[in-house]
Amino acid sequence: MFAVLYVVFVKFFKLGADVPHFAVYLLTGLVFWNFFAEITNIGVGAIVDKGDLLRKINFPKYVVIISTAVSALVNLLLNFVVVITFAIWSGVDFSWDALYLVPLLVIELFVVAIAVSLLLSAVYVRIRDVNYIWEVFMQVFFYATPVVYPLSMVTDKWPWLAKLMLINPVAQVIQDIRHVLVTPQTVTVWNYVGGIKALVPVLIVVGLFTFAVMFFKKRAPYFAEEV
């Protein structure tokens, strides 16, 4: 996947020519995007797939979501080792802030993914085509998030659009990680929007998570009979 994307976007379309270590840049984006995609894609069906179990035994339902998320976290860890190896091999110089910033950002992404999974899985119990809708949405979302192209391409032409894109917490996290891990040239919400407005993505995360937890809690008692 990475190799194909690299050849297509870098060699054919000459993307990211102005970004140093673009290969690492691309790989970092992909790895974290995949982390988010894995949790939410599996998360949608998590409750329904475990329907058999839910009907026979009582346990806190959120465990199902957390367990899929944690398994994705393990995968991320493995992938991350590849990223680091690749980065060192490419001669990237890390900022030492990465040591505490990356874990923090991973936690943020983890929380977003769980919030989305909680919401979708609870809705999926009742409405059984949410998974297809989410699949399509994820494809759109993939291109709406600066994963395969550098955000700097957008900032040149439509600065307002770039700002809008950075509201997306997934984009914010990916850009931040690139900033500390690959190159400080990366456009982030902090250096591009700045000020109090830069907190918007984080607030979205908190808001979404609170809502998701409340919604899930309200629906959870009825999973067993509706599944």
Partner 1 sequence: MAKKEMPTALQVENVKKNFVLPHERVRSVKGAFTGIVRRKQRRTVEVQHALREIDFSVKEGEFFGILGRNGSGKSTLLKIIAGIYTPTKGKVSVKGKLVPFIELGVGFNPELTGRENVYLNGALLGFSRAEIDKQYKSIVEFAELEAFMDQKLKNYSSGMQVRLAFSVAIKAEADILLVDEVLAVGDADFQRKCFQYFRALKKNNKTVIFVTHDMNAVREYCDRAILINEGVITHQGDANKVANEYLRLFNPAEATKNDTKQKQNSDRWGNGTVKFTKITAKAKEDHIEVVTAMKAERDHDDIVVGFRVKNSAGKTITGANTLRGQKHYRIALKAGEKRELRWKVPNIFGNDMFTIDATIRLSDGVTFCDNWDNAAQFDVAREENTPYSIVPDVPFTEGA
Nearer to partner 1, 19 or 54 (CB): 54
Please list every residue from 56 through 85 that binds partner 1, using CB under 8 A. 56-59
DSSP H or E run through 77: helix 62-90
Nearer to partner 1, 133 or 144 (CB): 133
Residue in 53, 82, 99, 107 binding partner 1, rule: CB under 8 A: 53
Please list every residue from 132 through 151 that binds partner 1, using CB under 8 A. 133
Residue in 7, 18, 55, 85 binding partner 1, rule: CB under 8 A: 55
CA-to-CA dists, residue 181 to 18, 58, 72, 110, 145, angstroms? 17, 44, 21, 18, 18
What's the N-to-C CA distance of the chain in angstroms? 35
With CB under 8 A as the contact rule, which of the stretches 79-87, 127-135, 174-182, 183-191 interacts with partner 1? 127-135
Helices (H) and strands (E) in the chain, counts: 12, 0
Residue 224 interacting with partner 1 (CB under 8 A): yes
Q: How far is Cα 142 from Cα 6, in angstroms, rounded to an integer?
A: 16
Interface residues with partner 1 (CB under 8 A)? 53-59, 126-130, 133, 221-222, 224-225
